[in-house]
Structure 1
Amino acid sequence: MKTVELSIMIIYLLFLIGLGLYSQRRISNSGSGVDDYYVAGRSIGTGVNSLAMLAALGSGGSFMAGAGTIWNLGFPFLAWMTVGSIVGFAISSILVAKPLRQSRKFTVSEFINDRYGGAFFKMAIPIVIIIGSAMYLMSQMTAGGLIASYVTGLTYEWGLIIIVLVFIFYVSLGGMLAVTWTNVLQGAMMVFLIAAIIFGAITNLPMPWSEFVVSATNENPALGAVGVTVPIAAYIGAFVTWAAAVCVTPHLVMRIFTATDVRSAKLSLNISMLIYGLLMLGAALIIVPFIPLLGTSVLESHASDMWMLLIADQFFGPVVMGIITAGIMAAVMSSTDALLLAVSSAFAYDLYKGVINPKASQKKILRVSMMFTWVIGIVVMLLTLNPPAFLIVLYTAAVGFMVSALFSPLVLGIWWKRANRTGAIAGLVVGATSFFVSFFVLTLPYNSEILVSLPLSLITMMVVSKLTEQPSQEMIDKMKDYHSDPSLS
């Protein structure tokens, strides 16, 4: 057991629980409980939202598992993925930030249902979000379990159970208000984490950096080679997935809904893009060459997703390592808490209120949301007791599924007047189905399924919309409101 590191971790987790209790009390006393719970009262400023967006995207996969993934799958694979994420922030700020923020909706599902109407989307979109977010949650919970095991000395399974129960507890209490406040802290901690490890790596270079990189590539010739560890289709698929992800992934889109206005939403997206790109680039270029120095026995006895933490352990004492461990946990928690909230809102707000009980009171909706947070959290935790390989690959597949199903109805619904309900239904069904067939039936390279499913979804929606009845004038007027009504921002 690492006593100092564990003590710092416990203090951090107790603070989060306290913040959840405070948020719950504030929401209970507020006249706008649902607004506070799901979109933090739409009052989050640019600086705060930038850190929160960074925290929501920066996860156990990207920051903790990145070094091991680069070593096993090559730098080109992660580079394409990271560049895709950076491009995704810019695309989102252009394509969806203004319409989504001006719509005054709470969720992606509510926005799409408002655009097209009908009962189908009230059922289908929450199901897509629950399935995709549950897959994403598995990767984050795995990382949390590994960290808890590292600091406590307990088995991975017990570490997972302990840390997941803490995650669920504070998210179920405080909703987006608690998630936003903790994400700001987590975003700041992630910046400190990566900066500290990069600084430690630079001050402990065993030789000039250029020679060190060459030495690492001699140890692992596939490190910088293109198409050796995975086919080039995997690079392109990872890029496309993350370039489209920020437009539709619920736990990222929810941050747009929390912004004070359209300009703040766009600025937050672009500031997050710059910080995220710099952190990932620094981590990849400076930290990865240290991996061979861990030794073969260490590398073989620890999951590759733990290697960055083991490298940092070579540079710092217990106190700094405690802070760094808390920072890595912050990266994990920042995605986990936002995902849990996205899933609970998909069920409670979109499915329960939208379909099962449209007359449900605010108090009832919040109670159902809290209960479902526990249900989905525990179910995913049980599935994660047997952890998947390569966290980044898993959560990219989860995002790919949601992009395949939701990108066409959302983006075409914003920008194409001819998009209608029938076409959107066809696009969603074909996108989701073709992704699952590609993932489970066909033998395709990592994360390349989206290269099949997304074009099929787009083409299907456009063709079906063209061949069926034009949207009503009411629908077209709604589109104009999304783009041009400044009073809603």
Structure 2
Amino acid sequence: MMIGIALLLYYVLEAGGGYAAIMENIHANHPEMLEPLSGGHMPVGLYLTQWILVGICTIALPQSVVRGISYKDTKSLHKAMLIGTVVVGFMNIGINFTGILAHGVLTGPLASYGGVDYIIPKTIVTALPPALVGLAIIGPLAASISTISGLLIVASSAIVKDVYLHHAEKHGRTVTGRQLRRLSTLATAVIGIAVFCIALTPPSLIWLINMFAFGGLETAFFWTLLLGLFWRRANKLGAVLSMGGGTIAYCLTQGLGFKFMGLHQITIGIIVSLAFFLIGAYLGKPQEERVLRAFFPSAPDLEELGDGQQEPCPIGEGKNT
């Protein structure tokens, strides 16, 4: 992806006659793009909510969390934090910068290129030599495949482990590892086929659908993840109320088109989600002490574990903290 972005930026500059020529073109045809608020098309509220929607709250996206909690050891996690910062920063700055410069290459009206979703692909086809077009397109495809694979894993795991396995254990039925693998494969295949069928006739403005889904996932899981990991008082009732209440509020305000002070509905969803989490945390049953000891160990607990001893993990049999 990084190679594709670098290639695209180079050839966009070349196709547009250089940076100075592109900026002159933008100044003549799109002067609002050179203003901080884009001539009123980019209000301050939109800046704020975009930082929330595609910035801070993305730590709670399931497809990211499932990778974030799968690190091998602390050293690997620290490396991942450094590498991730560089890679994500490069891609965010690089692709947004390239998208702006693309106005010097794609000079026609937006509708003539098929809409917003097609700007980068059209830029790739227009600016790059034919031999490099495939290489550049592999980048976005790789990103899509990576995200889709993570979402498929999360979705099939939620169905098989969080629903089926929990129900089976509750009723005293034993589920073997072989059965779990078969069910996981089946669930992943069914979801994948359904998504493939939907993709045969893709809806317009996919980016809007994508942002709506991102906002819903962030509203549901942001406070559950953040407070669940770092607040001793977090409990089950708070998590359930936060996920349910926040998501309902977000979807309703999206459907009704309601905004508070012109801000994106993610702000309403996040605020409502936090309020419900706090209500549940103070009204619900406190977390068990054995669980708190595992996630919030005191100094004596750490000294005991410092000699190589391991304490049984309260969230799964056969696992150790």
- Under TM normalisation by the shorter chain, which class is it? 0.7 to 0.9
Q: Aligned residue for 1:200?
A: 11
Residue 392 in 1 paired to residue 204 in 2? no
> Counterpart in 2 of 1:352?
164
Question: How many equivalent pairs are there?
Answer: 299
Question: Take 2:280 and 2:146, find their aligned partners in 1: how far apart are those partners?
Answer: 39
Superposition pairs for residues 138-157 of structure 1, below 5 Å? none
Partner of 2:48: 236
Tell me which amino acid in the other structure corresponds to 1:219. N
1:465 to 281, 284, 291: 281
Identify unmatched segments of 5+ residues in structure 2.
Answer: 311-319
One-letter amino acid of the structure 2 residue matched with residue 399 of structure 1: F
Could you tell me whether the CA contact under 8 Å between 2:58 and 2:218 is conserved in 1?
no
Q: What does 1:50-61 correspond to in 2, within 5 Å?
A: none
* AA of the residue aligned to 2:208: V
Q: Does 1:306 align with 2:118?
A: yes
Q: Distance in 2 between matches of 1:372 and 1:285?
A: 40
CA deviations on 1:409-443 (whole Å, 9 max, x unpaired) are 22212221122222222222211111111111233
The 3-state SS of whatever aligns with 2:175 is: coil
Superposed CA offset, 1:149-182 (max 9, x none): xxxxxxxxxxxxxxxxxxxxxxxxxxxxxxxxxx
Given the superposition, is the C-alpha separation of residues 456 and 298 from structure 1 closer, same or farther in structure 2, using an over 3 Å criterion? closer
Partner in structure 2 of residue 219 of structure 1: 29
Structure 1 residues 424, 283: CA separation in 2 closer, same or farther (over 3 Å shift)?
Answer: closer
Residues 322, 460 of structure 1: alpha-carbon distance in 2 compared, 3 angstrom cutoff: closer
Query: Which 10-residue stretch deviates more, 336-345 or 378-387?
Result: 378-387
Q: Deviations over 1:309-363 (max 9, x none)?
A: 2222234333222222233322221212222222112212222222246632222
Displacement of 1:268: 0.7
Residue 12 of structure 2 contacts residue 105 of structure 2 at CA under 8 Å; is this kept in 1? no
Q: 8 Å contact 2:2–2:90 — kept in the other structure?
A: no
CA–CA distance in 2 between the matches of 1:200 and 1:232?
A: 33
CA offset digits 1:107-166 (Å, max 9, x no partner): xxxxxxxxxxxxxxxxxxxxxxxxxxxxxxxxxxxxxxxxxxxxxxxxxxxxxxxxxxxx
**Cα distance in 1 between the residues matched to 2:212 and 2:263:** 6
Q: Could you tell me which amino acid in structure 2 is paired with residue 206 of structure 1? A: G
Aligned to 2:147: 335
Query: 5+ residue gaps in structure 1?
Result: 1-189
Say which structure is richer in helix: 1
Identity %: 19
| Separation of aligned partners in 1, 2:151 and 2:180 | 18
Q: Which amino acid aligns with 2:278?
A: M
- Looking at structure 2, the residues matched to 452 and 269 of structure 1 have their Cα atoms a distance apart, in angstroms, of 30
Structure 2 counterpart SS, 1:418: coil
Change (3 A) 1:408 1:194: same
Distance 1:309 1:409 in 2: 37
3-state secondary structure, aligned to 1:296: coil
Deviation, 1:246, is 4.0
Q: How has the CA–CA distance of structure 1 residues 468 and 340 changed in structure 2, closer, same or farther, with 3 Å as cutoff?
A: closer
2:162 maps to a residue whose letter is D
Structure possessing the higher relative contact order (Cα contacts under 8 Å, 6 or more residues apart): 1
Q: Does 1:456 align with 2:268?
A: no
Change (3 A) 1:232 1:318: same
In structure 2, give the amino acid aligned to 1:218.
A
Secondary structure of 1:470's match?
coil
CA drift of 1:454 comes to 0.9
The corresponding residue for 1:479 is: 295
Measured in 1, the distance between the counterparts of 2:190 and 2:297 equals 38
- Separation (CA, whole Å) in 2 of partners of 1:194 and 1:349: 38
Structure 2 CA distance for aligned equivalents of residues 258 and 464 of structure 1: 29
Give the direction of change, closer, same or farther, for the CA distance of 1:352–1:243 in structure 2 (3 Å limit).
same
- Aligned equivalents of 1:393 and 1:265: distance in 2? 32
1:422 corresponds to which residue?
237
Q: CA, structure 1 residues 224+339, in 2 after alignment: closer, same or farther (shift >3 Å)?
A: farther
1:230-269 matches, within 5 Å, as: 231-269=43-81
The C-alpha deviation readout for 1:41-74, integer Å capped at 9, x for no partner, is: xxxxxxxxxxxxxxxxxxxxxxxxxxxxxxxxxx
Question: Which residue of structure 1 lines up, in the alignment, with residue 317 of structure 2?
Answer: none
Q: CA offsets, 1:256-295, max 9 Å, x none?
A: 2331113312431332122221222123224532335334
Partner of 1:113: none
Contact 1:340/1:377 (<8 A) preserved: yes
Q: SS of the residue aligned with 2:33?
A: coil
RMSD: 3.0
- AA aligned to 1:198 is L
In 1: Cα distance, 2:235 partner to 2:99 partner: 49
Shift of 1:399: 1.8
Aligned amino acid, residue 401 of structure 1: G
Alignment of 1:118-157 (within 5 A): none
SS of the aligned residue for 1:223 comes to: helix
